[in-house]
Amino acid sequence: MEFLKKHPFNHRFLVRTVLNPALYRALVNTPLRGSPVAINTTCPRISIFPSHNIAIRGFTQTRRMMEDPKVVLQDKQEVAEMIRALEAGRTQNKGDKKAFKCRKSTFMVGKAGNTAADSWKFMDWDYKRNDLPTYARGLFTAKRKDGAPEIVTRGYDKFFNVNEVNETQWRNIENNTRGPYELSVKENGCIIFISGLEDGSLLVCSKHSTGARSDTARSHAQVGEEWIEKHVASVGKSTADLARQLREMNVTAVGELCDDSFEEHVLAYDPASSGIYLHGINFNVPEFATLSSSDVHQFADTWGFKKANFVVYDDLETVQKFLEKCAETGSWDGRDTEGFVIRCKMSEGGKGPLRDWFFKYKFEEPYLMYRQWRECTKAILSGKPPRFKKHKKITEEYLAYARSQFVLNPGLKQRYQQNHGIISMRDGFLQERGLNGAQIIQMEAEEVKRDVVLVPIASIGCGKTTVALGLTKLFGWGHVQNDNIPKGKNKPKKFASDILNTMMEKSAVIADRNNHQKRERDQLMNDVSVGAPNARFVALQYVHEPKDIMLPEIREVTRRRVLDRGDNHQTIRAGTKDAGEVIGIMEGFLKRFEAIDTEREPDMSFDEVIDLDIMATSRENLEKVVRALHSAYPQLVTAVPSAKELDDAIDFATSEYNVDVDHSASYKQPKNPKQNKNSNSPGPSAITIEAKAKNIEYFGISLPASEVLNLLHSLFSPATPPEKARLYHQLVNFRRIQPAFHVTLIHRASKKDNPDVWDSLVQRYTEKMTTIPPTEHWGTPFLGHARIRLERLVWDSRLMTFVARILPSEDAEDGQPEPDWVCVNPLPHVTVGTASPDIKPKESNDLLQRWLRQGSAPGSGIWEAEIPGVKVVYGNVGVTMSRGKY
């Protein structure tokens, strides 16, 4: 009874089981601050719970309140209710998008292999819902001999990264959690669950399976079993002993299997450091309940497991500083790590009973770069072009190193494809460069001083324009508002064009549009990348997911903001329009909103993603953006402004900003073409045709990329000698083939030597521009058709180009003759690609002059391939503007 005297409670408690009548009488007579004790004498174990039942996530569960729980038993009614709810989710109509879905897989386990263990699996996004019967990620259930259902394996509740969901926003963590905060190192392997069955056998599972698998010689669970035998034997115990202990405690031991001889991940584990790192002990009950890290360490010592290091802090501010410091190097205590799991107590809204709760702080880099290297290497081993948009330069250098290693060690290819040699390949490259991953990331960040595009992902009323105006006030960056552009079919391209124009003068530009759908983000990044291939895209995502939880509060907040601002908006005049009409427009955006998914196109092209809270103030979101940009690009944001400067920036954005453009009518009525025809007043962003003509970079004939690529690939068969195909494979593998193909007629650099050609083409351009409405003057006009014959492919070790012939023109569609297009280059050509960014396409002229003089004889370093037959392609004549110009 000493335990009860040391741990008094303010609640009425239920003793669900009692050991013997003497203990029963002692418990009844033990004072608990005046609260009587309810007794249940059905089982030879003791568990103490609040006597009040609490409805939790769709079923009733008794909540544990012990300060230092050692045994928490299952309640068969609670487990049965959980399984019924899971079965309902498994059989839900697939068309019912509002209901959660789960999948059940059954495995035969136990000594005789006659115990059916059911694995239950949710989709990852379902864990963001608030109506699941349990949030365990890794859950196996079975039936006891008496037919009662039980949980045999129980993983952690799914936990999220900082800022990934609303609960893990720092301000909510601060308001809703209590210390101590236990920070354990996030080991880099695969998760293993260990528990005991009723028949005394040990059950070892990976996340959703157990035993042998048909798709691999050794499964994770099997390798886990082998390691468990080694661990327990090292302390003179057996797996049967471990199974019995876990069964008596009603727990699942959770560990990380780290064994590079079996499977490599990102971080290296030598033989001495390989094994199972125990990092959790969870009670097998529906509601998450787990032991402290110190208890886990004590258990690991007793049973011979390795231990995941942890550190404890009492306050959240210290936790944040510690994590930010470790993130600078991606390491702690001299060892690389992917991040930390933080364990603490949480209560809903900071009130009510506390429960166990985890969140994580994951170091994105350099580990995303390492994974990119691994996936790109596997792609080239499979004969596929590697796809990557981040860390371009260093990744290309790494792939060149990897290719050289495969040539030197032919057997390495097969090993790499089997997940061996990955880390040694990476470490060899880093050693050759004399850098570590964190240093590379830091160097890349320090190189970024301009060409940054901030892309809000939002719906109406989130505050994106207020934050954008605050950023322009603080840093003088460019701000392009989509709402300032009149509605029209070419509006998306005009938006991208205005961004490119602004990038010529500003180091960063805010692309102020909702960008709430993937197609919008795809269009924006593609169009901007054409004119600014080195642009960095940073997403400012106003978090909307999970919608079923967040939309009610989002609606309340954003409607209030929009209706309060009245007519101070270019397209949504809330002061004039009917409120119902405004709300209808807002609902459309909410319905169409697509959250960022950095695992898939187009969102994987974002260099950084900054999640923002719609319910937070614009001042809070502004500071978050500034701090994140300072961390990611220290040369762009060299210092975080003071609190007063941030306050002043928001005051400017909210008090001094007034809309002077009204495009609301264009969103209600179809455009009248007569109005454009008779209008002589260009909009505020219009420019003269003469001014545009002064910024033409070159005139050229654009060719269909598919025809050029098909012809190119047909010239290199598997039988082509390796030395002859070397540049071709380099261009393919390094993605150095041009995204578009053209024949240059004349470049602005040649206009002084060929004024007649340049002036005639400018005149044709000017005449064409006068025939299009002023509202479309931002585009580049079509000047005519052309026929091109591709005659020969010529290349050396640096670049590859087609020799082209411009054929006499045919009549145009209107019966008028097309002009004969003149090319001022000695040989018209189509550059296919260059071996590196340092080699400019214009060097094709030099290569072809060398080829004309000396041919492709052995020793010349020049190769050529004749085009079989007569290959004629049809192209369009047009202009290309200087980078970022109109």
Catalytic residue positions, numbered: 186
How far is 625 from 627, CA to CA, in rounded Å? 6
How far is 357 from 511, CA to CA, in rounded Å? 38
User: Is 463 within 8 Å of 554 (Cβ atoms)?
Assistant: no
DSSP lists the bridge partners of residue 21 as none
How far is 277 from 253, CA to CA, in rounded Å? 10
* Contact partners, residue 181, CB within 8 Å, separation at least 6: 312, 313, 314, 315, 316, 319, 342, 343, 344
DSSP 663-685: -TGGGTS---HHHHHH-----TT
How far is 424 from 431, CA to CA, in rounded Å? 10
Q: Which two tokens stand for residue 153?
A: 């394996």
User: Is 100 within 8 Å of 90 (Cβ atoms)?
Assistant: no
- Count CA within 13 A, CB hemisphere, residue 786: 29
Q: Which two tokens stand for residue 183?
A: 């920070």
How far is 464 from 6, CA to CA, in rounded Å? 54
**Closest Cα to residue 376, out of 392, 359, 355?**
392
- Alpha-carbon 681 to chain mean position: 45
Query: How crowded is residue 20: how many other Cβ atoms within 10 Å of its Cβ?
Result: 10
Name the 3-class secondary structure at 647: helix
- CA distances, 671 to each of 454, 491, 571, 582, 659 (Å): 31, 14, 15, 21, 22
How far is 106 from 91, CA to CA, in rounded Å? 16
Name the 3-class secondary structure at 379: helix
DSSP lists the bridge partners of residue 787 as 874
Q: Which two tokens stand for residue 838?
A: 């340092």
User: Is 255 within 8 Å of 279 (Cβ atoms)?
Assistant: yes
Query: How crowded is residue 773: how many other Cβ atoms within 10 Å of its Cβ?
Result: 12
Q: Which two tokens stand for residue 376?
A: 């790109």
- CA distances, 67 to each of 4, 210, 345, 701, 851 (Å): 11, 34, 11, 77, 83
User: Is 794 within 8 Å of 801 (Cβ atoms)?
Assistant: yes
How far is 424 from 712, CA to CA, in rounded Å? 36
* Contact partners, residue 507, CB within 8 Å, separation at least 6: 449, 450, 451, 452, 475, 477, 636
Question: Computed from CA positions of residues 324, 325, 328, 332, in that sequence, does the dihedral angle turn out positive or negative?
Answer: negative
Q: Find where tokens 């010689």 sit.
A: 217
